[in-house]
Structure 1
Amino acid sequence: MENENKKLLEKTTTRRGLQNRHIQLIAIAGTIGTGLFLGAGKSISLTGPSILFVYAIIGILMFILLRAIGEMLYTDTEQHSFLNFVSRYLGAKTGYFAQWSYWLVVIFMAMAELTAIGNYLAYWFPHTPAWLMEVIVLVLLTGLNTLNARFFGETEFWFAMIKVVAILGLILTAVILIFAQYRHGSDVVSLSNISNHFQFFPKGVGNFFASFQMVMFAFVGMEFIGMTIAETNNPRPTLVKAVNQLPIRIILFYVGALIAIMSIYHWQSIPANKSPFVMIFQLIGIKWAAALVNFVVLTSAASALNSCLFSSARNLYSLSTIHKDRFARPFTKLSKSAIPLNALLFISVLVLAAPLISSFQATASAFNMITSVATDLFLAVYILTLFTFLRFRKSKDFLPDGFILPAAKIFVPIAIVGFCLIFVSLFFFKDTRIPALGTILWIIVFGMVSRVRKSKIEL
């Protein structure tokens, strides 16, 4: 009887194929986006050295969020989506809204990353149609995801390694140039480039607060770590280690990289429309620096797309087993390798719309708008997740001796207020105002749909 139950469980749950080293590198990769490699110049140009404080503040908010998610997952490591807890503690209707909204957000995120991959590949293959390269990459990554979780882990491991090496190379370069007191033009490489004439608002209070939303969206996707824990061999210790090392990663990879950049170049001489990584690698004599950085951002985008396929497939599988929607039944089935294959293939077909959309100029702008709305929805989901955590703390599932978020009654409300303020700030800037209004419209319309829907769930 025990063997029969074990076989039944193996047929209805995904297989634990991820190892600790996979999770640790995936967690690192989740903190490093293309925004650092390509967008660092723009964020620095907004507010100068005080951008370090912005990254630190957003990093603290994300750490609180990840600790809250980690505490809930620690009590039930079988969950394939941390959003399942929304249904459990805030009700089926709220869970329906949060889970399907988040799933849709990740689909659009995957489409955006695939479009970016086409643009990066055009650097080396300018005469090859972008849509063809995008299709080839999507087929390749989908194929890797059909094998088993271990192959996903290996792929992400090496994608992450490339990004880590690039950033460590930048920081090491800065350290060497600082000790050598290297000169380029009239400038000397020194930490004093950051501290001299320091101002919090060198370009005005408005630009300082505008940088918050830019930095915030450089961090989205960090919570993907919560989708991988259910497929690790030893989930609880792995979860604790991955989440607790987050502050070190933020300090090293984001704050460290920005300090290195502003030590080598005075922040006022860093152009907003050029990658500082390219400038620095060219400075030390790497003539093919632009190609090197293009390769790094290509792997970064491929890593993000890979994570989107993995997490959205697990999310759809999880949603299909929870909500009794007729159309979702095929997505509850697993392959022989314990992969939610139907869910993965369905998502890949949806993402295939990206090459089609990007080939028509008339629809490309609409796609960009939808992607911006989807990105803003991350904030709404994060806020709901933190409210879920507060309800979880009052439930019988709370483990006082588990993976506890210290001073949760203080830090969680602070994080909720912080995310709310960032969302409100979107309405004060021209580029983010319309997407923010679109997000409000989605919350109202889909919120009403979720309210009137009769939801039957099994958790």
Structure 2
Amino acid sequence: MGKTSITTNSDGTKRALSNRHVQMIAIGGTIGTGLFLGAGSTISKTGPSILIVYALLGVFFFLMMRAIGEMFYSDPSQHTFVSFITKYLGDGAGRFAGWTYWIGLVFVGMAELTAIATYVQYWLPNLPTWLIEIIFLVILTMINLIAARMFGETEFWFAMIKIVAIVAMIVIGVYMAFTAFKTPMGHASFSNLTASYSMFPKGINNFIAAFPMVFFAFQGIEFVSITIGETKNPQSVVKKAVNETLFRILIFYIGALVIIMSIIPWRTLSANQSPFVQVFKLAGLPAAAAVINFVVLTSASSALNSVLFSAGRHFYQLAVDEPDNSWLKRNFGAISKNGVPAKAILISATLVLITPLMSLTHGLTSVFTIVTSVSSDMYIIVYTLSMLAHRKYRASTDFLSDGFKMPGYKITSVLTIAFFTIIFITLFFVPGDAIPAIGAIVWTVLFGSWCYFDAKRTVPVVK
């Protein structure tokens, strides 16, 4: 595609991402290591009932994406969905959501960088963790600094690797199920899903505990919306990307889980090993562990790549929203010649650089785990604020009656907000999740109050 086809926005960013890039970024955001590595753990808690959990959460994430998509459709010039929180809920709520989301992204980036080092050491056990982390962080930061199109191209191929792995597992699994393939655990069959079925085979508490686990597996699904400000034909692309969210969840998550539990009776499935590795090994692929390790390495790299892209845009937006004379706006509220918020990307990457230092001091690991959990819990609050912003949008003069509307808004909006609230409450019933949930509440009360009162204090007087 020639340069002449790339439109430059008024702020200097370029609409260089094509529909092909955005659709793959959407898939990449939907599918993470939670499926490849964590599915065994979630299955072990509830058995086949986990399909209900994934389906239910999939529906509500789809509705959230429709709400966010509707706002982007009406104003595709925005770079982040947090911009709409500022626009419709006020500067205080926007500042709280922006900083909360950005800090959360930094911790997600740190967690993904840690995971990358672990996966690389599968092949190179003697290579220092800190060196692996620095190499990958530098490469992915450079990709983000070059151009949005380079980021899109990289994500396209990262997502393609994940899709090939899932489709291969599904195709092999369907063949094994239809041929009643014999395994050490019995015969592969779809009847394994319904054999001695119980809604709560390990108690209702384990069923409830699966909800936040699956919620965090879906976390990052909103990344696709952050590409809209740099996408060609944004209104048509946002409709396609959001509408296919539910379809992707059904195929890639629920389809994969159905095959896994058909091949391996869920009670014999190892919770500590990737179910993909287990299925490929049963199918006779001796290098199954190495293949899936490569897939999860690309998955973690994809997640870090997206984090750097998203964090850069969010920090840039935070800077732009500051007063003209502020230090933050002067230093980070600018776009580079390449059409990217380079300084905002670099400050985000620099904070992620703390990870290699942590690998040298084991005492920080437990603190990092707690803080990461707190930041994850705060995402539920930010998602809820985006839904409340959507309600305000619907009541505003910006509302497009012929736009890309959230289906059944009057009912689905309330249900989605209520569902996110329930998910947050379930954290208090899961061992280990209560303390981070309390931390998220404390952060919201303290930082949220400061943002609210500071916004009130700095409101300009209208003469």
TM-score, normalising length: structure 2: 0.95
Deviation string 1:427-452 (CA, Å, 9 cap, x unpaired) is: 11221011111111111111122022
**Worse overlay, 314-323 or 76-85:** 314-323
Superposition deviation, residue 12 in structure 1: 2.2
Cα distance in 2, alignment partners of residues 69 and 9 from structure 1:
23
Structure 2 unaligned regions, length at least 5:
1-6
RMSD of the alignment, in Å? 1.3
Q: Kindly indicate whether the alpha-carbon contact (under 8 Å) linking 1:11 and 1:334 is maintained by their aligned counterparts in 2.
A: no
- 1:395 corresponding residue in structure 2: 396
Counterparts in 2 of 1:5-404, with a 5 A limit? 10=9, 12-185=11-184, 187-324=186-323, 325-404=326-405
Cα distance in 2, alignment partners of residues 139 and 347 from structure 1:
12
Deviation string 1:58-78 (CA, Å, 9 cap, x unpaired) is: 101100100000000001100
Cα distance in 1, alignment partners of residues 40 and 68 from structure 2:
32
Superposition deviation, residue 169 in structure 1: 0.6
- 1:407 corresponding residue in structure 2: 408
- 2:4 corresponding residue in structure 1: none
Q: Kindly indicate whether the alpha-carbon contact (under 8 Å) linking 1:51 and 1:211 is maintained by their aligned counterparts in 2.
A: yes
TM-score, normalising length: structure 1: 0.96
Cα distance in 2, alignment partners of residues 358 and 271 from structure 1:
29
Superposition deviation, residue 326 in structure 1: 2.3
Q: Secondary structure at the match of 2:257?
A: helix
Q: How many pairs are equivalent?
A: 450
**Worse overlay, 190-199 or 297-306:** 190-199
Q: Secondary structure at the match of 1:127?
A: coil
- 1:432 corresponding residue in structure 2: 433
Letter in 2 for 1:137: F
Cα distance in 2, alignment partners of residues 456 and 66 from structure 1:
31
Letter in 1 for 2:203: G
Deviation above 3 Å: which 4+ runs of structure 1?
8-11, 454-457
Cα distance in 2, alignment partners of residues 287 and 293 from structure 1:
12
Deviation string 1:13-54 (CA, Å, 9 cap, x unpaired) is: 310110000000110111101011111110000000000000
Q: Kindly indicate whether the alpha-carbon contact (under 8 Å) linking 1:373 and 1:435 is maintained by their aligned counterparts in 2.
A: yes
Percent identity, aligned pairs only?
Answer: 48
Superposition deviation, residue 323 in structure 1: 2.2
Deviation string 1:361-388 (CA, Å, 9 cap, x unpaired) is: 1111101110010011110001111111
Q: Secondary structure at the match of 2:38?
A: helix
Cα distance in 2, alignment partners of residues 141 and 40 from structure 1:
27
Cα distance in 2, alignment partners of residues 307 and 355 from structure 1:
19
Cα distance in 1, alignment partners of residues 359 and 56 from structure 2:
35
Deviation string 1:299-356 (CA, Å, 9 cap, x unpaired) is: 0000000000001101111221122242342111111111111111111111100111
Deviation string 1:213-251 (CA, Å, 9 cap, x unpaired) is: 100000001001111011111100000000001111000
Q: Kindly indicate whether the alpha-carbon contact (under 8 Å) linking 2:9 and 2:15 is maintained by their aligned counterparts in 1.
A: no
Cα distance in 1, alignment partners of residues 453 and 396 from structure 2:
26
Letter in 1 for 2:411: I
Cα distance in 2, alignment partners of residues 248 and 434 from structure 1:
35
Cα distance in 2, alignment partners of residues 75 and 456 from structure 1:
26
Q: Secondary structure at the match of 2:14?
A: coil
Cα distance in 2, alignment partners of residues 429 and 43 from structure 1:
13
Superposition deviation, residue 456 in structure 1: 6.2
Structure 1 unaligned regions, length at least 5:
1-7
- 2:424 corresponding residue in structure 1: 423
- 2:3 corresponding residue in structure 1: none
Cα distance in 1, alignment partners of residues 252 and 356 from structure 2:
32
**Worse overlay, 422-431 or 213-222:** 422-431
